[in-house]
Structures are given as C-alpha cells and as structure tokens.
Amino acid sequence: MALLLTSVFKPYAVDDDFGRKENVMELFHNQVTREQGVFSLRMNHPSAGLHLIAENLRTPTMVLDFPSMSEFERELTKGYDTVGISFIVPNFKKAQHMARRVRELAPRTRIVLGGHGTMIPEVERLIPCDAVCRGEGVGFMRRLFGEPDEAPIRHPKVESAFNRHFLGAPTGGTSAMLMPGNGCPNGCDFCCTTHFFKRQYIPYLRTGREVFDACCGLEASMGANEFFVLDENFLKYRERTLELLSLMEQHGKQWSFGLFSSAESINQYGIELLQRLGIFFLWIGVESKRHVYAKNKGVDMKALIQKLRSHGIVVLASGILFLEHHTRENIDEDIDYLVGMEADFVQFMQLGPLPGTALYERIEQSGRLRREVPYEEWHGQHRIWFEHPAFTAEESERWLREAFERDYLVNGPSMLRMAETYLAGYQRLAGATDAYLGGRRELLRRRLVGHWPSIPVLAALGRTSRARQRARELGERLERLLGPMDAATKAKAAVVGATALKESLRLATVGSVRQPPTRWTPYRLEPVPLATQVRSFVELNLVQKPALYAKSAAASGLGLFGAMLRGF
C-alpha cells in the first residue's frame, strides 16, 4: 500500500483551460511586491500540509510538489493505492482534471481531495473522488489508513522557501518551516483558515518545550536557525511562547522566527521580549481603518508598526479593498491608511467571498455572488466576483493595481525598507549589556551585510529620486557603522548589478512568470532516481519555459525599452 500526495500541476500563471495568468504561484510576487518590478521578492513555498501528513503516517508516501501533468501521469503508473490532491478554489479545474486522469489511468486508485478548495459546494459531485478531507488532515488520513489517531505528531523537515531570488540573483540561507498548529478562533468573516477549522485552534505543538524540541530537531537535521512559523496566530498563546523563550535562553539558542500574528496578540508582549525571542518578521492583518475587526480594537496600528520596525522587526501590513462600506469617495482613505503605516511590505487583497466563510454565506444569501465568474478567477488579485454597490469588476482591477503602485512610489522598494529596519534595530541594540541581546544585534549585523550588495543597485535603479537617495544614504550609514565595503562584498555587488540588468531585460521581453521546479519527497519510499530529476529539469527549462517565453514575448509586442523602464 502506498500513497501519493500532490499539489496541482503546472504551468501556473498562464491563461489556459485550467487557470489564469493572475494566479501566480509565488506568495510575495503575487500579492505583496507584485508592482515592484525587478525589486520584487521571488520565491516558492512547498506544500507544507502535505509534508506534515506524510511525516505522520506509517504508509509509504510520496509528496509531489509542482509537477507538470506529464510528470503526474508518469508517477501514477508506479501503482499507488491512494492519491491525495490538495487544491485551493482557483485551482478547481486543475484538481478536477487530475482526478479525471486518475480514473482513466489508474481506475482502482482511491482519490482523496484536500485543501481549501474542498469547501466548494457539491465538490464531491464535481470532482471524481472517494473521500474529502476538510479541516485537520493528519488525523483524517490516519483514520483513512487505519493507523493510530492518537500517535504523537512528528515534525517534517521542510524548508520554508526555495527557488529564492532577488534582483535576479539567488539568495542563500536555510530557513525551515515550523508548524505548531492549525486554525484560529478569532473568526474574521472573510478568513478561510478560521472557517476551514471551524473557528478552533488545533495545536500540534502544545507547549514551549515541544516547540523547542521541534526547532532543535530542524536545526540538527537541516542546519536551520531561522524558522517561518506556519500558524495563523502563534503569539496568541502566551504561556507556550514564554516557555519557548525561557528554553532558548537557557540553552543559548539564537534562533529567528517569522510569524503571522494579530495586533492584540503582539500587544501581550513588550518589545524587548519580542527581540529576545528573535522575531525578525511579523505579518499583521491591519485590514481597514473604518471597519475595525475585533483583533485590532483599541490598537494604534501605525504606532505599533513603527515601534516594531524601530527595533529591527520587519512588518508586513495586510489590508482589504472593496469592503462593503467602500465607495469611490472613501476607498482612498483605506489605501492611504495602509500606505501611511510605512510598513516594510504591504499586501492589498480584494474582499473575496470564498466558500465556507461567513462572508460567502452573506454575499450568497443577498444574491450578489457572480456565479458566471469561473472558480479560476476567485483569487483576490484580479477582479471581484460579487456585485459591489460602488465598483464594477473592471474598476476593482484598476484600483487594486493603483494601490500597490501608490505604496511602491511613496515608500520605495520593500527590500530597501527591510534593510532600513535591520539598521534601526542594530543601532537600537548598540548599548545592550545583556549578552543574549548582544547576540541578537550580531544577527542583525549579519542580515545587513547580506543586504549590502543590493544597496548600490537600489541606489542606481530605484524608481523615484527619493528612493535612490534613501538607498545612497543607507549605503553611507552602513559604511560609517561597518567600515568600507570589502573586496568580496564589492564583487557581490557587481554580480548583483549584472543579474539585475539581466532580470529587467527578462521582465521586459518575456514577463515575470517563473515556474517552480518539480520536487519529489519520499517518505518511507525509495529516493527518486536522478534520471527522473534530470528529465524534469530538461522539461521545465528546455520545453515549458521557451514555449511560455515565446507566447509572452509575442503578446507584449517586444516593447523593450518602455517595458524596461516599467520594470524599474
């Protein structure tokens, strides 16, 4: 008996029978730095939930991330008893096509559907399947395979991101994915996660000791000392957090954490405690100025964000456009509110009534859901799919794009802001007498050194004169603090300058789409043969990429010079 767990197939971000070009398989480039051209942060993230399930079964399992359709079909021929397909709503047609191919090529294979896409009404009728996993997946799959449901949770060894690039150059470092739990009890009406897990928090790592042990295991096996925490609101559970910090200090662990957290949860802690914990990145849902969600009540959001940044903690502030109170007269208020936060990163997302949420039920019951819009366009980064009292779908696309543009023009490239935040934290800790905080300062110094080669490029190619001047001033400040740029850093800066020019040319001629490489991860199975991996590389780089590039270039008309300027 063997199990295949798979994501949906590529290519992604193209207009075809199964998807749309706006549905990009890159979190940051899709919905955070999407209008920053060559300065956009590029990376892919593995299907973390599939790896968590695979690690916690006894059944031999293969996790297949980002396959082409032909790779998926070839994998099916290996005789899996069960295939699990994970998908979100805009990838409905991809999941449907994959399931149909399973029925054709391996009719005896059991099909299990999972992920947020399973909340689509009547999904069992629309996609061939034998079981649907909604909510917590480890227990569901253990029960499906007749394995003990009460067995302890083992943490998988999964990097948080791969295929990472900035200014066209690969960026190094090892960062591991940490998954302490699923769900959130806050119950925001638009949130898929809170409703998918029925407004409950399901902990996998219940105590600070369990989190600490998981981090130790990832450090030992992967060499990771940086963790991206895939948990909707990690800081909400104060006792667990304080126990983790206590153990880190006892054992001298200078780990770093990137987190999602609500403002109310952050405010449980003093700023020094957050520094000691090693939080280097916080994703905060600001949402709206007028429509204040319970998690943000009584919080001065700008003051909070500026305090965090001044102490070296990078902030991503997330906001929602086309809320039901928005009009042409007041939507600028929320856009300016988010831009005025001066966060390192800003996400603008369209209000999106997705199946299973309270928002969806309300919009559907009012008869305002636009059912003629196909699921592949339900993703929040193109056009709204419900009748809004003040905006058409076409207008929503323009307003969203202009919101990102406004943040970029006013606040500059996000990576410049991030370097400024690290510098502020480094200077803030200059007088630290506590050895542990001194270690935190050293980590900030290393981050600054890592950013330094990109500063001359930011100073040369920044879109506005203000951004270019800020980059020049940042470079001068770094020289005063850290000394002149050494030969190795100068060489790296030259390389980054060359890759930035090459990347801007690519953006101008063939567009920004990048397809992630296929990844096979066996659990209790034989490793994937090297020949298979080589064939995948050739297929992606010599077949798919040229075809997509040619299509993109033809569509753009090769407006090279003007497009290069737009890329900057």
What CATH class is the domain 173-391? alpha beta
Tokens of 38: 């060559």
User: What pLDDT score does 566 carry?
Assistant: 32
Query: Shortest CA distance to 26 belongs to which of 3, 5, 2, 10?
Result: 10
Is the pLDDT at 316 greater than 70, yes or no? yes
Burial of 390 (0-12, 13-18, 19+ CB in 10 A): middle
Which residues have C-beta within 8 Å of that of residue 526, sequence separation ≥ 6?
none
**How far is Cα 414 from Cα 31, in angstroms, rounded to an integer?**
13
- Average pLDDT of the segment spanning 339-358: 97
Q: Percentage of residues in the chain with pLDDT exceeding 90?
A: 89
User: What pLDDT score does 372 carry?
Assistant: 96
Is the pLDDT at 91 greater than 70, yes or no? yes
**How far is Cα 67 from Cα 232, in angstroms, rounded to an integer?**
27
User: Is 81 within 8 Å of 2 (Cβ atoms)?
Assistant: yes
User: What pLDDT score does 555 carry?
Assistant: 41
User: What pLDDT score does 551 carry?
Assistant: 56
In DSSP notation, 161-199 reads: -EEEEETTEE----EEEE--EE--TT--TT-HHHHHTTT
User: Is 318 within 8 Å of 347 (Cβ atoms)?
Assistant: yes
Is the pLDDT at 560 greater than 80, yes or no? no
**How far is Cα 40 from Cα 514, in angstroms, rounded to an integer?**
13
pLDDT tens digits for range 16-59: 999 999 999 999 999 999 999 999 999 999 999 999 999 999 99
User: Is 315 within 8 Å of 321 (Cβ atoms)?
Assistant: no
User: Is 387 within 8 Å of 324 (Cβ atoms)?
Assistant: no
55, 163, 334 from 195: Cα distances, Å: 25, 31, 25
Name the phi and psi angles at 177, rounded to 5.
-85, 130
User: What pLDDT score does 548 carry?
Assistant: 57
Q: Structural domain boundaries of the chain?
A: 3-154+511-567, 173-391, 421-506
**How far is Cα 225 from Cα 541, in angstroms, rounded to an integer?**
32
pLDDT tens digits for range 477-525: 999 999 999 999 999 999 999 999 999 999 999 999 999 999 999 999 8
User: What pLDDT score does 558 carry?
Assistant: 35
User: What pLDDT score does 567 carry?
Assistant: 33
**How far is Cα 217 from Cα 206, in angstroms, rounded to an integer?**
16
Query: Shortest CA distance to 231 belongs to which of 219, 221, 240, 220?
Result: 240
What is the greatest pairwise CA distance in the chain? Answer: 68
Is the pLDDT at 563 greater than 50, yes or no? no
User: What pLDDT score does 559 carry?
Assistant: 34
Q: Confidence class of residue 447 from pLDDT cuts 50, 70 and 90?
A: very high
pLDDT, mean over the chain: 93
pLDDT tens digits for range 223-253: 999 999 999 999 999 999 999 999 999 999 9
Is the pLDDT at 565 greater than 60, yes or no? no
Q: What is the pTM of this model?
A: 0.92
User: What pLDDT score does 531 carry?
Assistant: 75
In DSSP notation, 73-133 reads: HHHHTTT-SEEEEE--GGGHHHHHHHHHHHHHH-TTSEEEEESGGGGSTTHHHHS--SEEE
